[in-house]
Structure 1
Amino acid sequence: MDQLSDKELVAKIQANKNDHKSFELLIIRHQEKLYSFIRRMLQNHEDTNDVLQNVFLKAWKYLNKFDGRSSFYTWIYRIAYNETIDQLNKNKKHFHQELSDVKLESELADTNSTIPTSEEISNKLFVAINTLPDKQKLVFNMKYFENKKYTEISHITGTSEGALKASYFHAVKKIEAFLKNDQTFL
Structure 2
Amino acid sequence: MTEKSLCTHPDDQYLISHFKNEDSKHYAFNLLVKKYQQKVYWHIRKMVVDHNDTDDLTQEVFLKVWKNLSNFREDAALFTWLYRIATNESLNFLKKKRRRFMLPINDVTKELSKKIDNDPLIEGSDIERKLQKVLLTLPDRQRLVFNMKYFEDLPYKEIAKILEVTEGSLKASYHIAVKKIQQLLGNDLL
Structure 1 and Structure 2 fold alike (TM over 0.5): yes
Q: How far apart, in 2, do the equivalents of 1:63 and 1:17 lie?
A: 15
Which of 7, 11, 21 is the equivalent residue of 2:17? 11
- Does the C-alpha gap of structure 1 residues 162 and 100 become closer, same or farther in structure 2, counting only changes over 3 Å? same
State the partner residue of 1:140.
Answer: 146
How far 1:94 sits from its partner (Å)?
8.2
Does structure 1 retain, via aligned residues, the 8 Å contact 2:15–2:32? yes
Q: How far apart, in 2, do the equivalents of 1:96 and 1:49 lie?
A: 24
Q: How far apart, in 1, do the equivalents of 2:49 and 2:167 lie?
A: 27
Q: How far apart, in 2, do the equivalents of 1:143 and 1:160 lie?
A: 14
Deviations 1:37-61 (Å, cap 9, x if unpaired)? 1111111100000110000000111
SS in 2 for 1:27: helix
Q: How far apart, in 1, do the equivalents of 2:94 and 2:129 lie?
A: 20
Larger displacement relative to structure 2 (86-95 or 128-137): 86-95
Q: How far apart, in 1, do the equivalents of 2:70 and 2:110 lie?
A: 44
How far 1:150 sits from its partner (Å)?
0.2
Q: How far apart, in 2, do the equivalents of 1:31 and 1:41 lie?
A: 16
TM (norm. structure 1) is 0.82
Q: How far apart, in 2, do the equivalents of 1:36 and 1:171 lie?
A: 20
TM (norm. structure 2) is 0.80
State the partner residue of 2:183.
Answer: 177
Does structure 1 retain, via aligned residues, the 8 Å contact 2:156–2:171? yes
Larger displacement relative to structure 2 (72-81 or 141-150): 72-81
State the partner residue of 1:112.
Answer: none
Larger displacement relative to structure 2 (94-103 or 2-11): 94-103
Deviations 1:122-154 (Å, cap 9, x if unpaired)? 222112110000000000000000000000000
- Does the C-alpha gap of structure 1 residues 4 and 143 become closer, same or farther in structure 2, counting only changes over 3 Å? closer
Q: How far apart, in 1, do the equivalents of 2:104 and 2:64 lie?
A: 26
Rg: which structure is higher?
1
State the partner residue of 1:53.
Answer: 59
- Does the C-alpha gap of structure 1 residues 31 and 143 become closer, same or farther in structure 2, counting only changes over 3 Å? same
How far 1:19 sits from its partner (Å)?
1.7
How far 1:5 sits from its partner (Å)?
2.1
- Does the C-alpha gap of structure 1 residues 39 and 94 become closer, same or farther in structure 2, counting only changes over 3 Å? farther
SS in 1 for 2:20: helix
How far 1:17 sits from its partner (Å)?
7.8
Q: Is the aligned partner of 1:158 residue 2:164?
A: yes
State the partner residue of 1:100.
Answer: 110
State the partner residue of 1:78.
Answer: 84
State the partner residue of 1:129.
Answer: 135
Partner amino acid for 2:150? Answer: Y
